[in-house]
Amino acid sequence: MNILLFGASGTAGGAVLQACMDAPVVNEVRAIVRRPLGWTDAKLWEIVHADFLNYAPVADAFRGVDACLFCLGISVTQVSKEEFVKISHDFPVAAAKMLLAASSAAAFHYISGAGTRAESSTFWSKVKGETENELMELAGAVCWRPAFIDAAPSASIPRIYAAMRPMLRLLKPFRSFYVDGEDLGRAMLQATRENMRRRVIENAEIREIAGRF
């Protein structure tokens, strides 16, 4: 299995990257990044690219892949509303369009988050919910709604999140509120193996799918 990954330097994406690197079923991970990750592994192909609205210069990275795992995201508290829409909607839609052109049979996976709803009156929830619907219509996307993701915090994550991590780990027994970051990656790989399409997957089901991997 060849995997194309976005967001490898983030909290969720970093854990998903580790899950892919550890999985014997994965032959190659192609990570599109703004800056090198600092990893050294024959299984990893880093593609440094700046414009996440135009993937034509890196089109080769999209060819011959089985799935695109789009884990790139940001908190609405960290950017303007315009920037949030660009990162949460425009970037993944551009990636899905390129994937369709280059590897039409590949699966597209999009991390949105618990609480996402297209009909919500909350800005971030509505944006991500509308993006889910568009990606499912465009590319048959599988949309993932994890709750607390237990993974090493990225450098860009709000400090309060990192500080609360030990306390949030107490949620582990509750399947709707906690998921190990690498289990999120395993669930995405398992969903690819099972050829899931056009689905919204909440946290409890993420843990159940990961258990089948």
- Could you report the per-residue pLDDT of 164-204, keeping only the tens digit for each? 666 666 667 779 999 999 999 999 999 999 999 999 999 99
pTM over 0.75: yes
Q: How far apart are CA 89 and CA 32, in angstroms?
A: 17
Check residue 184 and give its pLDDT. Answer: 98
Task: For residue 77, name the pLDDT band (cuts at 50, 70, 90).
Answer: confident
Q: Give residue 168's pLDDT.
A: 61
Greater confidence (17 vs 162) lies with 17
pLDDT per residue as tens digits for the range 78-109: 899 999 999 999 999 999 999 999 999 999 99
19-60: pLDDT as tens digits: 999 999 999 999 999 999 988 889 999 999 999 999 999 999
Residue 151: which pLDDT band, with cuts at 50, 70 and 90?
Answer: confident
Average pLDDT of the residues in 139-149: 96
At CA 41, angle to CA 5 and CA 74, rounded to 5? 30
pLDDT at residue number 38: 86
pLDDT for 161: 61
CATH homologous superfamily for 2-210?
A: NAD(P)-binding Rossmann-like Domain (3.40.50.720)
Q: Where are the domains of the chain?
A: 2-210
pLDDT tier at 162, thresholds 50, 70, 90: low
Tell me what the pLDDT averaged over the chain comes to. 93
